[in-house]
């Protein structure tokens, strides 16, 4: 009988001759220059408002041509990390990474993917519930003062200014997440904030008994939340906030729950 050929075991190491060569992309010089300047901005070595060195200085420093440098500038400008001013007193000035830039691009992606408004509101619940619990456990005296001031601003809005009341309501939700002290949760919350703010403004009644009742109920719930945070009652704060968010979702979305982010923003 002819000897049986035994195949190599799955996952066994291959010899170099078995490996199919793949082309390796070498970054363009403009990308390398942009990466170095980006690193300096993110690490704070170049501060907000600082002017970058002149083009001639940077060209000499990196050993590059003017077109290459300007291509690197275009990369950083597209990332909102520098602002280019034209004219005699122009040049490139540093801008720190901004949350609103991330939020704008997140909105583009959600629009492109056809995300529904219910999807966005469910994500808000997932972000805000752990935040209120964290805040209740970690809160400081200063946190309570900031929250109380936010409540007072919301309650001081005259009855006819519903859009301002809606804006301050949304700001309170952002504030709760921000004060919880988790930067990742705060960033993700701000990425959804613009979409939710537009939905809150466009989907709820501008005026009338229903709007007035919703505003009074919201103010009462927000005050109760601050009381629970003051008492460091993390479980109670989380339970209250879950009910509040569930009710807000049902009140605002109703038959529009299947609408997409693109439907709302276009």
Residue 152 CB neighbour total at 10 angstroms: 9
Q: Is 22 exposed, middle or buried (0-12, 13-18, 19+ CB in 10 A)?
A: exposed
Of 210 and 194, the one with more pLDDT: 194
pLDDT digits (tens, 9 = 90+) for 179-194: 999 999 998 998 888 8
What number is the average pLDDT over the span 217-224? 93
Task: Say what the pLDDT of residue 9 is.
Answer: 44
**Confidence band of 20 (pLDDT split at 50, 70, 90):** low
Of 201 and 118, the one with more pLDDT: 118
Least confident of 6-20, 67-81, 133-147, 161-175: 6-20
Query: What phi-psi label fits residue 91: left (phi over 0), alpha (psi between -120 and 50 degrees) or beta?
Result: left
pLDDT digits (tens, 9 = 90+) for 80-109: 899 998 766 678 999 988 877 887 788 888
Residues 117, 119: Cα–Cα separation, whole Å:
5
pLDDT digits (tens, 9 = 90+) for 21-42: 667 677 799 999 999 999 999 8
Q: In the predicted model, is pLDDT for residue 215 greater than 80?
A: no
Q: In the predicted model, is pLDDT for residue 251 greater than 80?
A: no
Average pLDDT, the chain: 84
Q: In the predicted model, is pLDDT for residue 200 greater than 80?
A: no
**Confidence band of 209 (pLDDT split at 50, 70, 90):** low
What number is the average pLDDT over the span 59-67? 95
Residues 195, 191: Cα–Cα separation, whole Å:
8
> pTM for this one?
0.71
Residues in the chain, overall count = 266
Task: Say what the pLDDT of residue 4 is.
Answer: 44
Q: In the predicted model, is pLDDT for residue 247 greater than 80?
A: yes
What number is the average pLDDT over the span 39-50? 91
Q: Of all helices (H) and strands (E), which one includes residue 105?
A: helix 99-113
Q: In the predicted model, is pLDDT for residue 3 greater than 70?
A: no
Contact of 79 with 96, CB cutoff 8 Å = no
CA of residue 180 relative to chain centroid, distance = 15
Residues 83, 87: Cα–Cα separation, whole Å:
13
Query: What phi-psi label fits residue 258: left (phi over 0), alpha (psi between -120 and 50 degrees) or beta?
Result: alpha
Contact of 225 with 243, CB cutoff 8 Å = no
Residues 59, 69: Cα–Cα separation, whole Å:
7
H, E, C per residue of 3-66: CCCCCCCCCCCCCHHHCCCCCCCCCCHHHHHHHHHHHHHHCCCCCCCCECCCHHHHHHHHCCCH
Question: DSSP code of 260?
Answer: B
Q: Is 120 exposed, middle or buried (0-12, 13-18, 19+ CB in 10 A)?
A: buried
Contact of 212 with 144, CB cutoff 8 Å = no
Residues 248, 146: Cα–Cα separation, whole Å:
23
Task: Say what the pLDDT of residue 193 is.
Answer: 87
Q: In the predicted model, is pLDDT for residue 245 greater than 70?
A: yes
**Confidence band of 214 (pLDDT split at 50, 70, 90):** confident
Q: In the predicted model, is pLDDT for residue 110 greater than 90?
A: no
């Amino acid at each position: 009988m002819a000897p049986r050929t035994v195949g190599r075991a799955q996952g066994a190491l291959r010899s170099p001759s078995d490996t199919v060569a793949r082309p390796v992309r070498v970054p363009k010089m403009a990308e390398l220059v942009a990466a170095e300047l980006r690193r300096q901005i993110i690490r704070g070595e170049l501060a907000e408002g600082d002017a970058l060195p002149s083009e001639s200085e940077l060209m000499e420093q990196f050993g590059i041509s003017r077109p290459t440098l300007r291509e690197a500038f275009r990369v950083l400008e597209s990332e909102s990390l520098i602002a280019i001013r034209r004219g005699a007193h122009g040049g490139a000035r540093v801008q720190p990474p901004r949350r609103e830039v991330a939020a704008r691009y997140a909105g583009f992606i959600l629009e492109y993917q056809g995300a529904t408004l219910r999807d966005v509101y469910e994500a808000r619940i997932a972000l805000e519930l752990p935040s209120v619990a964290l805040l209740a456990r970690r809160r400081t005296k200063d946190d309570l003062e900031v929250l109380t001031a936010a409540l007072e601003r919301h309650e001081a809005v005259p009855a006819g200014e519903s859009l301002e009341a809606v804006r301050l309501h949304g700001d309170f939700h952002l504030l709760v997440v921000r004060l919880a002290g988790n930067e990742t949760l705060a960033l993700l919350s701000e990425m959804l904030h613009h979409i939710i703010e537009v939905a809150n403004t466009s989907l709820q009644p501008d005026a009338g008994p229903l709007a007035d009742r919703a505003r009074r109920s919201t103010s009462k719930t927000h005050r109760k939340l601050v009381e629970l945070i003051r008492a460091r009652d993390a479980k109670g704060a989380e339970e209250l906030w879950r009910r509040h968010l569930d009710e807000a979702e049902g009140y605002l979305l109703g038959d529009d729950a299947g609408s997409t982010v693109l439907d709302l923003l276009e």
